[in-house]
Structure 1
Amino acid sequence: MRIEWSEPAMLDMAALRDYIASDAPARATFFIQRLFDHIDALHTFPELGRVVPEVDVANIRELVFQGYRIIYRLSPQRIDILTVLHGSRDLGNPNNRPWEA
């Protein structure tokens, strides 16, 4: 199954990399690569993630990786990565749902 990245998700990844790199550049590269590897499992197991509880829509799912939530939309032809955010962010707040903008 094909994985597509939304612009907000790409910006999230860049911001996360920059944040980690400000203290540990080598760690940032390692962390981001591991996060991509985690997401790659969706190619084989697209329903690996759980339904996002705050949204409760069957095709809006999430993977969790070391405290970060990877929110994605599952459709028959592809997976859209919608956002990557820290687990402490409140998805109950519609302002934290870039896919609804």
Structure 2
Amino acid sequence: MKIVWSPLAVERASEIADYISQDKPAAATNWINVLFSKVDQLRANPEIGRIVPEINDRQFRELIYGNYRIIYHIGAKQISILTVRHGRQILPTDEIKA
């Protein structure tokens, strides 16, 4: 299945990596590599993530990676990575539109 990253998800991942790199550049590179590796697992098994509790719709799911939530939507022909958020942040519903 095809995986497509939204501009918002790319922006959020970049912001997080930039923040991590302020103290540990190598850790930021590792964080990004693991992030993409986790997302790549969705190709074989798109439903491995739990249903996003704020929506309660089986098509909207999330992978947990450390303190972060990778929110995605399962479509007929592709998986859309919608956003990446810290687990303690409130998830605005406008960030999780398919």
For normalisation by structure 2, the TM-score amounts to 0.93
Distance in 2 (alpha carbons) for counterparts of 1:68 and 1:99: 15
Report Cα offsets for 1:30-85 as digits up to 9, x if no partner. Answer: 11101111111001001111110111112110000111000001012000000000
Tell me the amino acid that sits aligned with residue 10 of structure 1: V
Q: Which residue matches 1:70? A: 70
Please list every run of at least 4 consecutive aligned residues from structure 1 whose deviation after the TM superposition is greater than 3 angstroms.
none
Distance in 1 (alpha carbons) for counterparts of 2:20 and 2:49: 25
Question: Residues 35-50 of structure 1 correspond to what in structure 2 (within 5 A)?
Answer: 35-50=35-50
Q: What is the DSSP-based 3-state SS (H/G/I as helix, E as strand, rest coil) of the residue aligned with 1:57? A: coil
Q: Is the 8 A contact 2:71 2:96 kept in 1?
A: no
Q: What is the DSSP-based 3-state SS (H/G/I as helix, E as strand, rest coil) of the residue aligned with 2:46? A: coil
RMSD (Å) for aligned C-alpha atoms? 1.1
Query: How far did 1:99 drift?
Result: 3.2
Structure 1 runs not aligned, ≥5 long: none
Q: What is the DSSP-based 3-state SS (H/G/I as helix, E as strand, rest coil) of the residue aligned with 2:47? A: coil
Distance in 2 (alpha carbons) for counterparts of 1:45 and 1:65: 17
Q: What is the DSSP-based 3-state SS (H/G/I as helix, E as strand, rest coil) of the residue aligned with 1:47? A: helix
Tell me the amino acid that sits aligned with residue 39 of structure 1: V
Tell me the amino acid that sits aligned with residue 28 of structure 2: A
For normalisation by structure 1, the TM-score amounts to 0.90
Structure 2 runs not aligned, ≥5 long: none
Q: Which residue matches 2:27? A: 27
